[in-house]
Structures are given as structure tokens and as C-alpha cells.
Amino acid sequence: MKLREIWEWVRSLAFALGLALVLGIFVFQPFKVEGHSMDPTLQDQQRIYVSKLSHTFSYLPDYGDIVVIDSRVDRERRFQDDLVGHPLIHLFLGKENENFMYVKRLIGKPGDVIEIKDHQLYRNGEKLSEPYIKEKMEGEDGKWAVPEGHIFVMGDNRNNSLDSREIGFVPFDHVIGSKIEWKVGK
């Protein structure tokens, strides 16, 4: 009788872990914001939940959405990356999360021309209203044409953000997902 009870517990735990892995790989996953590139919108060490449906079904989030990206844009991303990046796998392996997942804001999609001039951001010649940025951008002007299959991302703390201005365009398959907004009440 004891063996049967133990088997039921093991089976239930295995099912729960398997379900958690599937949900985390394909549906939603928690992430921790590392650093200050998204100040004042998100703070360092803040936890967010990310919908992975855009990654799973290959559609792009909207302009202005907060996204999690794999910043290793110079390499091909594989299913193994999603599996190894799951928090349960990190827990079992006793590993800390590697710091190549960045939380950024989607600024440009394929075909867009992104330009910084006179400390202002433009998309396709139109000045963007960005009430979420921390402060006026400093630094050099620049212009980028977003190629097919890629997006352009920036942090809200533009003067302290490692983003598409430095790492380059982000391939679609490197967009892990977009931040889930929890609405309470009306």
C-alpha cells in the first residue's frame, strides 16, 4: 500500500513539473529585470511575467510594448535555449540566470527607419511621443533601417541602455515574449 501511495505522489509531481515546463517554454515565464536600462518604468531586480505566445506563434508585439530579447543576436537561437533558460531548469542545475536576456521597448519593425536627431527619436520621419523615458537622450545622432525579420529595441533609460544602437537589430526568433500587463478592476 505504501508503494502505491509513493507512486501516486511521484506521478503527480512529475505531471506538475512537466506542465510547469511546457507553460514556461510556450505560454508565459517569469523574468527578473537586471540593471537600470528600463528606469523609470521598471526597476532593477523587479520581477515581470512575459507572454511567450508571440515567440511560440511567430507574431510581433506592438510598437511600444516591453519585450524580453535574447541579446546574443549574432548566433542562431534553438529550442534548447528556451529549455535551458527555464527557471525550473536553473533551479535543478543550481545555476544563476545568465545575463543575456534583456528587457527593452519595441521601437521599430521591419521596413521602419529609426532616427535620432537633436536628442529626439523619430520613426519613419515622425517624432515619437515617449512619456515613459527617464530623461532626454544624450550622445550622437544616428539612423537605422530595420531589415526584414528583425526589430529595433531601446531601453527607457536611453543614456544607460545597451540596446539595438549597440547590439544591432534583433531577429524575430530572439524576441522571447512581451510583458504581461495585469489589469485589476475596471
Q: For residue 154, which of 64, 77, 33 has the smallest C-alpha distance? A: 64
How far apart CA 15 and CA 3 sit, in angstroms, is 18
The single residue of 51, 52, 104, 178 carrying the catalytic annotation is: 104
Verify whether residue 183 is a known catalytic residue.
no
In contact, 27 and 53? CB cutoff 8 Å = yes
Verify whether residue 71 is a known catalytic residue.
no
The C-alpha cell that represents 107 in the structure block: 521601437
Q: Which residues, in sequence order, are bridge partners of residue 1? A: none
The C-alpha cell that represents 22 in the structure block: 511546457
CA 69 to chain centre: 4
Catalytically active residues are: 37, 104
